[in-house]
Amino acid sequence: MTNYNPKEIESKWQSFWSKEKTFSVVEDPNKKKIYVLDMFPYPSGEGLHVGHPLGYIASDIFARFKRHQGYNVLHPMGYDSFGLPAEQYAIQTGQHPALTTEKNINRYRQQLDRLGFAYDWEREIRTSDPYYYKWTQWIFIQLFDSWYDLVENKAKPITSLIAHFESEGSQDINASCTQKLTFTPKQWNSYSSEKKEDVLMNYRLAYLSMSMVNWCPELGTVLANDEVKDGVSERGGYPVEQKEMMQWSLRISAYAQRLLDDLDQVDFTTSLKEQQRNWIGKSEGLLINFEIEHQKEELQVFTTRPDTIYGVSFMTLAPEHKLVQHITTSEKKKEVFAYVDLISKKTERERQANNGKPTGVFTGSYAINPINNEKIPIWVSEYVLHGYGTGAVMAVPSGDQRDYEFAKQFNIEIKNIFEGISLDSSAYSEKDVIYKNSPEINGLNYVDATAKITTLLVQKKKGRKKINFRLRDAIFSRQRYWGEPFPIYYKDNIPYTIKEEQVLLPKVDKYLPTRDGRPPLGRAKKEDWNIFLGDQMELNTMPGWAGSSWYFLRYMDPKNDKKLASSEKLNYWNQVDLYVGGAEHAVGHLLYSRFWTKFLFDLGVISFQEPFKKLLNQGMIGGAIESLCLKKEKKEGRPVFVCSTKIDNEDFVKIPCHIDFVSDYGSKTSHLLPKQIQKFIKWRPEFKHALFEISNQFLSVEELLNHPEKKLFTLTEHGKMSKRYFNTIDPEKICDSYGADTLRCYEMFLGPIDEHKPWNVNGISGVSGFLKKTWTLFHQAKKVAPSNEELKILHKTIKKVSEDIENYSFNTVVSTFMIAVNEWNKLSQISLTTMENFVVLLSPFAPHISEEFWFKLGNKTSISTVPWPSYNESYFVESTYEYPISFNGKMRFKIPLSLSLTKEEVEKEVLKNKKTEPFIAEKTVKRIIVVPGKIVNIVL
């Protein structure tokens, strides 16, 4: 018997799999399908990130498991190769993005191959591949050519809308739109083509508009809302400003309700669903019109609390609100316009970081409260957001904290409309209130008051029920080079789609972004375009999430050049059954793909409305940073290290320590033992003469070695993995020293797949030892009939492993394997047939070693085609059956089969011990707990 040599067998089986195309899959209507998908990576240049393999291993295990169970498994991989990260890397290294992308992909592939994944590489896709992005562009054209009918709740061809306008005008159209328009058919038919196009833009699902956008000068592009965090760009952390620009947007807001409702159909974590719900942000309320003194126009506000209308003591407009220009009185003009100007110059971040005092100015005008005709001053303040609701609010200082603070700041009246509530220090925003000073609703509760005010205002034609969503349309233009070009050209300022031929990304000399926002594609000459129509090509490119919003469909039929995928294949593979990836894509990618899926459903391209049935979020893997505490003060000229537990504002310097030396790495009690201190000193010889202050003694290394139990506690901080902190672990290095199978099992063994954890390598020897033990055990197996004892272990293992994989509890599966092997090891001998079954169980986790075993067993086909073993309960000595007897009512017993007790014997046993107290009977069964009239449980 040779020793377990992972390096040798892993490369052997990897080349076998790739030569035999073991994992390529074809559609087969006679077989049930499973679609297991990983979030495909950005090939960013730093190679695979340590967190990545975690999810890939999990999905690979699941895919291999299902393949054993006889499913036709689609398990593909590809690259999200367009977009900012790829381009940033190219810019940093001064190479063309196409080149660096190619290089990075090769590197990724090499790393992926090393881990033995069962991907069908025949189906690989790249979003930057023209054969792929042809269909991204195609979907864009469909969006451009569609509008959203709110009556039937689906997208429809724009031609049907035009036909309606021609015959009925805007009447009877309830569409998702930027602005509500009204016109007659006669008016419509008299419009110029430019005007018609303007009107249609108002309805198209992909539309051009002049709007305030998140402009990031450093990246030279605009960003979608979810790409901006805390006023800076998510990627790179550069400041983001508000800028008015002509941009393409996608009308995702049309789908807000469906995106919200259909969350009930999918199996995502509650926290992720909650994030999506918050992002969609549905709120039901009332639009209320306030008349303005001496003005024709009315001021419309949105509120969810019409019940507090008697508490309105001022109105507030966003500085961008168009009424600000009209209603500001002449004496206030100078002040108000200066304020508006000041605010417009602020970046998003500055507006948010408005710590403490609210700002604002009075416009000089007054609104009329429609409920009691009271005169209310109208103010302008930056705390009101232009983009939400109507950009104006009715301010109720008694019920809203922001309004309260504003009122305090500017000495505006705070009307108390709540019975028995003190408003001395803050507003009262809870809804458990009884009203006062509110003639129509005095004494009522929240529900009744809201209903009454709503009815009153609707009757007066001053109010209208309205559902508002926080979800904003997604900006779809990027002023960057490395993205899908729009299939759009302009003629006389009217955009037209290009359908006759695919628009390819033209070559340009310089692909760097510009600071002023002119797209790099502007550098392309007329002849650089493969197709050039009209006066001007669209020069923006699509954002990174365009290609990733539908890629899961292309894997189904990656080489189709007639359609994005054939309907048979789309129908066969259907939804992704298991989608594995990080939770950081909660509101970006996951929302956009859900949106596109629904749109493609409306088009009739696909037959399902949700792309991902089940989402598994793998936890992030961070790195703990371990440092020794070096006192600034030396002792007798020698440096002194002290325990991290002893430092309190004392002067000390952190000396980062290589994590290989640290015990309990990443925990509160991380420490170095004398032997490890010795290693540390070898690594950092400049501390050769250092002293270590432990339990009030100053000891040198030599002295410490006489006290092997002494511990020097290290300072642990949680952070990133970085070479700078000596806390990186390279997955490839682990493959080198332990093998991919050990790494796969170990990553699963670390803990629940969805939990965040710092990476550590502390326990890897246990997993490695397990595989070695398995190797030995296998080679000791004899060609004999399996004993009952070993079968009992096997069948328990099959049961537990199958159930746990089904529940994505991969860490406990590895433990179960270990228990089985340990128990078999205690037996005098083991049969080959038992091992044969075990090898199948092991193969999703450790495919290479399992394949090696399978080969040795003389089976020529690859192990992944072997059926998953089934278990037989009769081998479970501890198996139980339910044994109902009557005892002060109905009770349930679980009695071991092995004891083969008769009914009388059990009853006798139980009745003999009949007590009011629970009791334990250890003679016939291990434990019986009996309570008269309640459940009795007999534990083994």
Partner RNA sequence: GCCCGGGUGGUGGAAUUGGUAGACACGCAAGACUUAAAAUCUUGUGACCAUUUGGUCGUGCGGGUUCAAGUCCCGCCCCGGGUACCA
Q: Does residue 750 bind RNA (CB under 7 A)?
A: yes
Are 698 and 692 contacting, i.e. CB atoms less than 8 angstroms apart?
Answer: yes
In whole angstroms, what is the distance from residue 358 CA to residue 381 CA? 8
Number of residues that bind RNA (CB under 7 A): 86
Site for RNA in 676-735 (CB under 7 A): 708-709
In whole angstroms, what is the distance from residue 65 CA to residue 36 CA? 11
Site for RNA in 26-45 (CB under 7 A): none
Q: Which of helix, strand or coil describes residue 419?
A: coil
In whole angstroms, what is the distance from residue 690 CA to residue 635 CA? 9
CB of 720 to RNA, least distance (A): 11
Q: Does residue 354 bind RNA (CB under 7 A)?
A: yes
Residue-wise DSSP of 841-900: HHTTTSHHHHHHHHHHTT--S-GGGSPPP---GGG-TT-EEE--EESSSEE--EEEGGG-
Are 611 and 745 contacting, i.e. CB atoms less than 8 angstroms apart?
Answer: no
Among 755, 806, 873, 905, binds RNA (CB under 7 A): 755
Q: How far is CA 504 from the centre of its chain?
A: 31
In whole angstroms, what is the distance from residue 825 CA to residue 832 CA? 14
Half-sphere exposure of residue 487, counting CA atoms within 13 Å on the CB side? 22
Neighbours of 807 (CB within 10 A): 10
Q: Which stretch binds RNA (CB under 7 A): 385-393, 574-582, 787-795, 854-862?
A: 385-393
Measured from the CB atom, the residue of 158 and 232 that comes closer to RNA is 232
Q: Does residue 812 bind RNA (CB under 7 A)?
A: yes
Q: Does residue 674 bind RNA (CB under 7 A)?
A: no
Among 300, 815, 833, 924, binds RNA (CB under 7 A): 815
Q: Does residue 285 bind RNA (CB under 7 A)?
A: yes
CB of 804 to RNA, least distance (A): 8
Strand extents, DSSP E, 136-224: 146-149, 154-157, 206-216, 221-223
Measured from the CB atom, the residue of 65 and 511 that comes closer to RNA is 65
Q: Which stretch binds RNA (CB under 7 A): 443-451, 528-536, 640-648, 757-765?
A: 757-765
CB of 428 to RNA, least distance (A): 13
Which residue has 């539908």 as its token pair?
550
Measured from the CB atom, the residue of 156 and 710 that comes closer to RNA is 710
CB of 908 to RNA, least distance (A): 21
CB of 682 to RNA, least distance (A): 16
Q: Does residue 278 bind RNA (CB under 7 A)?
A: yes
Q: How far is CA 46 from the centre of its chain?
A: 22
Q: Which stretch binds RNA (CB under 7 A): 291-299, 415-423, 662-670, 785-793?
A: 662-670
Among 99, 246, 784, 939, binds RNA (CB under 7 A): 939
Residue 252 to residues 101, 161, 304, 593, Cα–Cα distance (Å): 30, 19, 23, 11
CB of 438 to RNA, least distance (A): 16
Tell me which residue of 132, 148, 96, 340 sits closest to 258, measured CA to CA: 148
CB of 881 to RNA, least distance (A): 14
Q: Which stretch binds RNA (CB under 7 A): 80-88, 259-267, 636-644, 811-819?
A: 811-819
Q: How far is CA 697 from the centre of its chain?
A: 51
Q: Does residue 332 bind RNA (CB under 7 A)?
A: no
Q: Does residue 344 bind RNA (CB under 7 A)?
A: no
Q: Does residue 447 bind RNA (CB under 7 A)?
A: no
Measured from the CB atom, the residue of 63 and 587 that comes closer to RNA is 587
Q: Does residue 769 bind RNA (CB under 7 A)?
A: yes
CB of 763 to RNA, least distance (A): 4
> Quick one: tokens of 209?
């508009």
Site for RNA in 449-478 (CB under 7 A): 468, 470
Tell me the torsion sign for CA atoms 778, 779, 783, 784.
negative
Measured from the CB atom, the residue of 352 and 695 that comes closer to RNA is 352
Measured from the CB atom, the residue of 158 and 929 that comes closer to RNA is 929
Among 763, 898, 899, 905, binds RNA (CB under 7 A): 763
> Quick one: tokens of 321?
């609100």
Are 697 and 667 contacting, i.e. CB atoms less than 8 angstroms apart?
Answer: no
In whole angstroms, what is the distance from residue 24 CA to residue 767 CA? 30
Tell me the torsion sign for CA atoms 225, 229, 235, 240.
positive
In whole angstroms, what is the distance from residue 675 CA to residue 697 CA? 18
In whole angstroms, what is the distance from residue 264 CA to residue 260 CA? 8
CB of 251 to RNA, least distance (A): 17
Tell me which residue of 234, 233, 235, 208 sits closest to 539, measured CA to CA: 208
Among 695, 825, 861, 872, binds RNA (CB under 7 A): 825
Per-residue binding string, RNA, 505-544, x by CB under 7 A, is: ----------------------------------------
Per-residue binding string, RNA, 216-245, x by CB under 7 A, is: ----------x--xx---------------
φ/ψ of 102, rounded to 5, equals -60, -45
Q: Does residue 664 bind RNA (CB under 7 A)?
A: yes
Q: Which stretch binds RNA (CB under 7 A): 182-190, 264-272, 571-579, 719-727?
A: 264-272
Measured from the CB atom, the residue of 491 and 720 that comes closer to RNA is 720
Site for RNA in 581-620 (CB under 7 A): 583-584, 586-587
Q: Does residue 409 bind RNA (CB under 7 A)?
A: no
Q: Which stretch binds RNA (CB under 7 A): 109-117, 179-187, 390-398, 562-570?
A: 390-398
φ/ψ of 54, rounded to 5, equals -55, -55
Site for RNA in 555-574 (CB under 7 A): none
Q: Which residues pair with 463 in a beta bridge?
A: 288
Which residue has 């100015």 as its token pair?
361
Angle, in degrees to the nearest 10, between helices 158-168 and 193-201: 120
Site for RNA in 828-887 (CB under 7 A): none
Measured from the CB atom, the residue of 327 and 673 that comes closer to RNA is 673
Measured from the CB atom, the residue of 4 and 23 that comes closer to RNA is 4
In whole angstroms, what is the distance from residue 127 CA to residue 86 CA? 12
Measured from the CB atom, the residue of 497 and 617 that comes closer to RNA is 617
Among 294, 902, 917, 923, binds RNA (CB under 7 A): 917
Q: Does residue 94 bind RNA (CB under 7 A)?
A: no
Site for RNA in 127-186 (CB under 7 A): none
> Quick one: tokens of 854?
């399978």
- Burial (CB count within 10 angstroms: exposed 0-12, middle 13-18, buried 19+), residue 3: exposed
Are 639 and 626 contacting, i.e. CB atoms less than 8 angstroms apart?
Answer: no
Site for RNA in 355-374 (CB under 7 A): 358
CB of 339 to RNA, least distance (A): 13
Residue 33 to residues 18, 36, 295, Cα–Cα distance (Å): 22, 10, 66
Measured from the CB atom, the residue of 160 and 695 that comes closer to RNA is 695
CB of 232 to RNA, least distance (A): 12
Measured from the CB atom, the residue of 111 and 776 that comes closer to RNA is 776
Among 134, 658, 757, 799, binds RNA (CB under 7 A): 757
Q: Is 117 left (phi over 0), alpha (psi -120 to 50) or beta?
A: beta
Among 303, 365, 438, 862, binds RNA (CB under 7 A): 303
